[in-house]
Amino acid sequence: MSQKGSGAENIFSEYAAYYDILYQDKDYAGEALFISQLIDKLLSKNRRNIQLLDLACGTGRHAMELSKLGYQVEGSDVSEKMIRIAKEESNKNNFGITFYNESFQTAGRLGKKYDVVLSLFSAICYITSYNDLSIAFRNISSLLNAEGIFIFDFWNGNAVLDSFSPIRIKRMAKDGKEILRISETTLDKITQTANLKFKFILIQNNSISKEFQEEHRVRYFFLQEMVDFLHANRFEVIFRCPFMNHLKDIDVADWNTAYVVRKLK
């Protein structure tokens, strides 16, 4: 889910190999079902005829779950290593999904049209400047059919300022490997960015076999601010809700907010 233009294209180089271990507890199937509920609500088209692009797809887990639900899915990510993993897993499990190595800033080069462009896990937050965000929106617009929709989620600034955690620790194990991730987060309230310093410790055979660090910079957005950014780039919000709950209205306390948008006519 790293993206060019944010300086993030290199930050998932070592992380990629352990990404699926750290997020094995993530409810990819449930999140795919949530996306499917939004699509059913807003597109009157049989899902087996819906062309969907998962942009900033990471290791392709959402794309594979959406393929199981019957969508015609492709994926793209700037991280070459994550795309390699996505291709391997797709082929191993006979999904046959096509994956591309393009970012938000270069996805227009795909030269294709989709009914749905999707970006999950708040990947859009890796775009920290308005100029890069405008480039991303232009590319997404070029990828959408006339009635196509863009679905994405982002960090809600109200919730971030109220309840961010300066220190978080996550520990996961799989296939004889154990990963400990320690994250330290600081906020810059002027630029509306969060700086996340990650320290990774790989444990094998009860001893530390590897340590490395990465630093991620992401932006949080306020609810009306995102509406205004979208409108300035010729998109309108047609639906929004807390991520994973399409039956509830958004609230300032919701950390992850999902927006569904369509090109202005």
User: So where are the chain's domains?
Assistant: 25-156+220-263, 159-219
| Token reading at 29 | 């199937």
pLDDT at 18: 93
pLDDT at 11: 66
- Whether the CA torsion 188, 213, 179, 101 is positive or negative: it is positive
Please give the model's pTM, rounded to 2 decimal places.
0.95
Query: Do the beta carbons of residue 157 and residue 221 sit within 8 Å?
Result: yes
CATH architecture of 25-156+220-263: 3-Layer(aba) Sandwich (3.40)
CA distances from 62 to 29, 93, 164 (A): 7, 14, 26
pLDDT at 10: 61
Taking only the tens place, the pLDDT of each residue in 155-182 is 999 999 999 999 999 999 999 999 999 9
CATH architecture of 159-219: Single Sheet (2.20)
Mean pLDDT by 10 residues, the chain (265 residues): 47 84 97 98 96 98 98 97 96 97 97 98 97 98 97 98 96 95 98 97 94 96 98 98 97 97 95
Query: Do the beta carbons of residue 17 and residue 142 sit within 8 Å?
Result: no
What burial class does residue 54 get, using C-beta atoms within 10 Å of its C-beta: 0-12 exposed, 13-18 middle, 19+ buried?
buried
